[in-house]
Amino acid sequence: MFTFYNTLDRRVEEFKSREDGKVSMYTCGPTVYHFAHIGNIRTYIMQDALIKSLEYAGYDVKRVMNITDVGHLSSDADTGEDKMVEGAKREHKTVMEIAKFYTDAFFKDFDAVGNKRPDVIEPATNCIPEFIHMVEVLLEKDYAYVAGGNVYFDTSKLKNYYVFSSVEQDDLEIGVRDDVEEDVNKKNKADFVLWFTKSKFEDQALKWDSPWGVGYPGWHIECSCISIKHLGEYMDIHCGGVDNIFPHHTNEIAQSESYLGHPWCKYWFHSNHLNDQSGKMSKSKGAILTVSLLQEKGYDPLAYRFFCLQSHYRKPLVFSWENLDNTVQAYNKLVKRVSELKEDGAVDETVKTEYEDKFREAVSNDLNTSMAITVLYDALKADTNDATKLALVKSFDKVLSLDLIGHAGALADAGSNVDTELEAYITDAIARRAEAKKAKDYATADAIRNELLAKGIVIKDTREGVVWELAK
Ligand code: AMP
Ligand code: ZN
């Protein structure tokens, strides 16, 4: 039994895929107007853990992700400037240059923390005809209206627009209050834009022809369209951060189900935010802490993954350098422990299965990744041989993706490099001493002997030549 918290039903429930053993999954991708901060990356790490846990439990997951390169305005409630235009202005570049640069930067960090790439990655700007088609159908079905040049979704046509019901009118009011000005074209406050033509911002860089005039799509339509395009009319799991619940996912459901005429996605998986000591991390909040920046400061991106996996996806996680440093220490210890394991014979299959079952149970129980890590520690302490422990580390890493075996190998290599360096130094010192003796410079010869002694190395002159050993 695989369970996780389904935001739609507001409880932890058993996951049942529509097709036996197969899972279709959609995840909202990044808005590529700026770097993805380590908070964004937390969301993608927890989604990766979900996918790999489902796979560990025997499912085959197909995952689709969009890249938001148009239509996401600075407020999620359809007001403000397009974030991409904002980014282009800030950096004196074109929107497409910005999109390319930040998409590449995103995937560099996405990969560095051990995430598996989605099966399909689709930039929104690839799918303009599909967006237009969906808007046309929504207009035909009378779920949408044209006002002031824009096309809006009419939320009053739905019996239950607030499907997640944890957010109600009050939250929407906050959304409106926060914004520059209210859109007078909307029939209802909750209505949202499907297609913009009369943007307040004349300098919108990307525009396409449409039946309603030259313009660009709203943000929410992207995800509805791209997911249906690649996964069909029904989907198993839709993922995002908790900030996506409203209005983004609420609007996606409104559009998709009105367009399709039937329920769309059964499970909604939301992971909580990474906060810093001053509150939620956000791209628009000054300096952006990225995985690449962590790397530049000498932190292993996989230690950051370890940091995320140690806490539950539904809890907010507070980032501090101290917390990260503690995790780095724990990660290094773990790597060292694994590096000490030797291939010492046959794997004990009974013990291996016993621990694999415990691990599967942990990740299948509302994605309890910290419990899964505890199972790993328990396995390393188990009364069994090293070969079995190594097999378990390899097996658990299919989900954890901490590259413990690779890092342990690198640590062993580094250790043997030190030995090689030491050997080279001793050989050189012995040669220098021989030269000094040949030149009858006994003072230098003795100084070299003492230099070696100070490093714990004893040399002896024998009939076969000079030999050395470590001081006892
Ligand atoms: P964006 O690029 O802003 O569209 O966000 C990409 C993903 O990161 C979305 O799924 C957001 O829900 C998620 N996200 C945004 N802020 C945070 C945060 N502070 N911590 C974790 N995830 C976040
Ligand atoms: Zn989305």
Q: From ligand 2's centre to the CA of 65, what distance in Å? A: 8
Binned at pLDDT 50, 70 and 90, residue 180 comes out as very low
Tokens of 94: 């074109």
Nearest ligand to the C-alpha atom of residue 105: 1
Give pLDDT, residue 329.
92
User: Could you tell me which residues are beta bridge partners of residue 65?
Assistant: 27, 121
Residues of the chain above pLDDT 90, percent: 68
Give pLDDT, residue 454.
73
The ligand 1 site (C-beta within 6 Å) comprises 28, 30-31, 39-40, 42-43, 68, 240-241, 243-244, 273-274, 280-281, 283
Atom of ligand 1 nearest to the CA of 28: 10
Atom of ligand 1 nearest to the CA of 36: 2
Polymer length in residues for the chain: 472
Going from the C-alpha of 338 to that of each of 34, 331, 406, 419, the distances in angstroms are 38, 11, 10, 20
Q: From ligand 1's centre to the CA of 418, what distance in Å? A: 43
Residue 11 amino acid letter = R
Write the pLDDT tens digit of every residue in 362-384: 999 999 999 999 999 999 999 99
Q: Check whether 25 has a pLDDT greater than 80.
A: yes
Give pLDDT, residue 178.
43
Nearest ligand to the C-alpha atom of residue 273: 1
User: Which is higher by pLDDT, 54 or 445?
Assistant: 54
Q: Which residue's alpha carbon is at the smallest distance from atom 6 of ligand 1?
A: 30
Tokens of 58: 């025997």
Write the pLDDT tens digit of every residue in 305-319: 999 999 999 999 999
Give pLDDT, residue 181.
56
Give pLDDT, residue 203.
63
Neighbours of 19 (CB within 10 A): 10
Which of 28, 40, 238, 244 has most ligand 1 atoms within 8 Å of CB, for mutation? Answer: 40
Give pLDDT, residue 422.
79
CA distance 251 to 262: 15
Tokens of 35: 């770097």
**Among candidates 377, 73, 120, which has minimal Cα distance to 220?**
73
CA 167 and chain centroid, separation: 26
Residues 304, 294 contacting (CB under 8 angstroms) = yes
User: Which is higher by pLDDT, 185 or 111?
Assistant: 111
Give pLDDT, residue 210.
94
* Three-point CA angle 296, 302, 304, nearest 5°: 75
Task: Give, for 460, the enclosing helix (H) or strand (E).
Answer: strand 457-462
Q: Which domains does the chain have, with CATH numbers?
A: 17-276 (3.40.50.620), 418-472 (no CATH)
Q: What is the mean pLDDT of residues 203-228?
A: 89
pTM of the prediction? 0.86
Q: Check whether 455 has a pLDDT greater than 90.
A: no
Q: Which residue's alpha carbon is at the smallest distance from atom 9 of ligand 1?
A: 241
Q: Check whether 116 has a pLDDT greater than 50.
A: yes
Q: Which residue's alpha carbon is at the smallest distance from atom 8 of ligand 1?
A: 40
Which of 35, 43, 289, 312 has most ligand 1 atoms within 8 Å of CB, for mutation? Answer: 43
Residue 177 amino acid letter = R
User: What is the DSSP track for 54-72?
Assistant: HHHTT-EEEEEEEEB-S--
Write the pLDDT tens digit of every residue in 322-367: 999 999 999 999 999 999 999 999 999 999 999 999 999 999 999 9
Write the pLDDT tens digit of every residue in 376-405: 999 999 999 999 999 999 999 999 999 999
Write the pLDDT tens digit of every residue in 243-255: 999 999 999 999 9
Q: From ligand 1's centre to the CA of 43, what distance in Å? A: 7
CA 468 and chain centroid, separation: 52
Give pLDDT, residue 285.
63
Long-range CB pairs of 461-468, under 8 A, 24+ apart, other chains included = 466/430, 466/433, 466/434, 468/426, 468/430
Q: From ligand 2's centre to the CA of 4, what distance in Å? A: 20
Residues 396, 377 contacting (CB under 8 angstroms) = no
Which of 47, 76, 243 has most ligand 1 atoms within 8 Å of CB, for mutation? Answer: 243
Q: What is the mean pLDDT of residues 398-427?
A: 84
CA distance 84 to 79: 14
Nearest ligand to the C-alpha atom of residue 227: 2
Residues 193, 78 contacting (CB under 8 angstroms) = yes
Q: Which residue's alpha carbon is at the smallest distance from atom 5 of ligand 1?
A: 30
CA distance 208 to 136: 15
